[in-house]
Amino acid sequence: MDRRTPANSNPRIGVFGATGLVGRELLSILIERSVEADTIRAFASERSAGTSVAAGGAHWPVERFVASEADSIDLAFLATGSELSLELAPCLLAAGATVIDCSSAFRGDPEVPLVIPEINGHLLASDPAPRLVASPNCSTTIALMAVEPIRRAAGIRRMTVCTYQAVSGAGAAALEGLDRELRDHADGELPKPAHFSSPCLFNVFSHESAVDERGENQEELKIRAESRRIWNDADVAIAATCVRVPTRRAHAEAINLTLERPLSAAEAREILASVDGLVLFDREPGTRAPEPRDAEGRDEVLVGRVRADCSQPEGLGLWLFAVGDQLRKGAALNAIQIAERCLESIPLLSVESARDRVHR
Ligand SMILES: NC(=O)c1ccc[n+]([C@@H]2O[C@H](COP(=O)([O-])OP(=O)(O)OC[C@H]3O[C@@H](n4cnc5c(N)ncnc54)[C@H](OP(=O)(O)O)[C@@H]3O)[C@@H](O)[C@H]2O)c1
């Protein structure tokens, strides 16, 4: 049987980790953007199978994935942990699916493109089209979205990033932990750690990921390694300090740049104001800078506090403050934008029945 369908067939989409924060955002954005699909199925762990998840104005029945049914998926979004991505991706790829992975599992794999479509989307136009694509770490995506227009105009010699990362960046359980701390506080108890090793409430702490022998944590290493890959520049100097703050959603990042060629703050503002996917928030110095609450639920990265770094030679030093919803552009939206670019070239398997169709 010829399993290829006409080019205009819609894909059968699977969202893995659908009950999680990124998974629910994936379902919502698929609906918001009216991504054409034959079916959209929501997969999660055995714990959630048989329940439903509310997202995008619909209730999605949650299924447990069975590997023998992998050929019922044409396009898979993986929003589970990296260990599970390492299991799921080969199985789905072998059955013919295109896989977009939101975890860190494949971000360092030279065979797998690591893509922010606005920056290196050309990697998705290769022939044959990539069947496995990694979406970058959320802090990396937010920083690079803000810095890319400056890089194109003036080149980047060095970038330092200090993050103020929302609790939801660590998943649904972390957010539940913050809510528990809030309830304890309302009951008159002192904040004690409910999810991380330090309390979130009334506190900030160094990012919880493992610290290596040089003292850098994994989030800081990811920002350097992934930025260099996405920019295809192994030499650019990058350093980060990553910190968790008690906001619920949207990461903020203070970014300091050393440029290759002079660019004034006024020129930088003009460039940043003209780019799709970015909003120059405080157009006039002294007006309110972007805050996480401004970015919640928005697709764009908000940029502000664009100013010269007076400690560097005239025109070569620049500060930016970027804020982005890490569940959207930092994860789900970026993954869907990758898929939208890939969709035309996805070889679709035949649609044998409408039994899996989800009513929405
Ligand atoms: N949160 C962010 O801001 C963010 C940003 C960028 C990338 N990411 C990455 O995106 C991925 C998902 O993150 P998240 O924040 O959405 O995590 P989360 O809220 O903890 O959700 C995890 C999801 O994985 C499912 N899962 C866990 N164990 C499973 C198993 N054994 N089999 C099948 N499904 C299983 C969970 O299902 P159950 O509900 O059934 O347990 C849930 O749907 C992670 O790799 C993360 O690093 C997250």
pLDDT-derived band at 4, boundaries 50, 70, 90: very low
Residues 102, 138, 242, 342: which is the catalytic one?
A: 138
Reading the block at residue 137, the tokens are: 């770490």
Check whether 190 has a pLDDT greater than 90: no
pLDDT for 355 equals 29
Check whether 352 has a pLDDT greater than 60: no
Q: What letter would DSSP give residue 188?
A: T
pLDDT-derived band at 346, boundaries 50, 70, 90: low
Residue of 15, 27, 45, 142 to test ligand 1 pocket, by largest number of atoms within 8 Å of CB: 45
Query: Which of 169, 239, 172, 252 lies closest to 209 in space, CA to CA?
Result: 169
- The whole-angstrom separation of Cα 105 and Cα 228 is 17
pLDDT for 344 equals 66
Residue of 80, 179, 338 to test ligand 1 pocket, by largest number of atoms within 8 Å of CB: 80
Q: Give the alpha-carbon dihedral of 23, 24, 28, 33, to 10 degrees.
A: -10
List, for residues 309-342, the tens digit of each pLDDT value. 999 999 999 999 999 999 999 999 999 999 999 8
Reading the block at residue 92, the tokens are: 């789905």
Read off the pLDDT of each residue in 4-20 and give the average, rounded to a whole number.
80
Residue of 16, 19, 22, 26 to test ligand 1 pocket, by largest number of atoms within 8 Å of CB: 22
Check whether 358 has a pLDDT greater than 60: no
pLDDT-derived band at 348, boundaries 50, 70, 90: very low
pLDDT for 351 equals 32
Mean pLDDT of the chain: 93
- Atom 47 (ligand 1): residue with closest C-alpha? 103
Question: Assign residue 57 a region: left if phi > 0, alpha if psi is -120 to 50, beta otherwise?
Answer: left
Q: 23 in ligand 1 pocket by Cβ < 6 Å?
A: yes
Domain 139-326 in CATH 3.30.43.10 = no
In CATH, what number does 12-135+333-343 get? 3.40.50.720
Count how many Cα atoms sit within 13 Å of the Cα of residue 176 in the half-sphere of its side chain. 5
Spacing, Cα 21 to ligand 1 middle (Å) = 7
310 is catalytic: no
Q: What number does the ligand 1 atom closest to the CA of 23 have?
A: 16
Read off the pLDDT of each residue in 38-49 and give the average, rounded to a whole number.
97
List, for residues 200-244, the tens digit of each pLDDT value. 999 999 999 999 999 999 999 999 999 999 999 999 999 999 999
Read off the pLDDT of each residue in 240-250 and give the average, rounded to a whole number.
98
pLDDT-derived band at 345, boundaries 50, 70, 90: low
Bridge partner residues of 159 (DSSP) = 238, 257
- The whole-angstrom separation of Cα 181 and Cα 233 is 43
- The whole-angstrom separation of Cα 130 and Cα 123 is 8
Read off the pLDDT of each residue in 21-47 and give the average, rounded to a whole number.
96
Domain residue limits, the chain: 12-135+333-343, 139-326
Q: 102 in ligand 1 pocket by Cβ < 6 Å?
A: yes
List, for residues 270-293, the tens digit of each pLDDT value. 999 999 999 999 988 789 999 999
Cβ–Cβ < 8 Å for 278, 149: yes
pTM, 2 dp: 0.94
Bridge partner residues of 238 (DSSP) = 159
Question: Assign residue 46 a region: left if phi > 0, alpha if psi is -120 to 50, beta otherwise?
Answer: alpha
Spacing, Cα 234 to ligand 1 middle (Å) = 30
138 is catalytic: yes
- The whole-angstrom separation of Cα 159 and Cα 259 is 9
